[in-house]
Amino acid sequence: MPFAVKPRFTSGKLSNTFVVTEGETRNVSMKAEGNPPQISYKWGFPPEAVARSPSFYDRIHTSGPLLWLSNTQRTDRGNYTVLAWNGHGNFNTTASIFIDVLYPPRSVKLLQSKAATKINHQPSFGGPIYIHTHAQFWDLDLIIIRNVTGPCQIA
């Protein structure tokens, strides 16, 4: 009678990173072998990726040891797990992989008013501070400021 052997992953990279470019497709295979040889698989997805993307389950599919990421979005980035078991007692193995999504920078929208805006603060180096450019990038605001030391009027 042959010995029971829990599954071990024979394909793919264990605890490594798989890189995909935003908008592209990536297939990952995490095949396992064991005894008995009938292996079942269950994939786990990063909860934050599922929560951030309403279309996650329309674009991410699994079949046994295979994970397909189609039209990959930057929100798909995260740790994925795959559990392999062969139904003989508690013989299972889990592997974690990291999906890293590369994406080009998005343009920054610059907002500039006709008049500078005075900040009611007197810095230690003298002179008031005026906002000259205000940039909005996702949920972050970048304000470029300049110290005006000479006489100035707000138009």
| Residue ranges of domains in the chain | 5-102, 109-147
pLDDT for residue 135 is more than 50: no
67 beta partners:
28, 62
The stretch 98-123 carries a mean pLDDT of 62
Q: 5-102, superfamily in CATH?
A: Immunoglobulins (2.60.40.10)
CA distance 102 to 100: 6
3-state DSSP assignment of residue 127? coil
More confident residue, 54 or 128: 54
User: Could you report the per-residue pLDDT of 25-75, keeping only the tens digit for each?
Assistant: 999 999 998 888 899 999 999 998 999 888 999 999 999 999 999 999 999
Residues 6+ apart with CB under 8 A from 46: 77, 78, 79, 80
Instruction: Judge contact between 73 and 53, C-beta under 8 A.
Output: yes
* Reported pTM: 0.64
32 beta partners:
9
Question: Could you tell me the pLDDT band of residue 84, with boundaries at 50, 70 and 90?
Answer: very high
Instruction: Judge contact between 97 and 15, C-beta under 8 A.
Output: yes
119 beta partners:
129
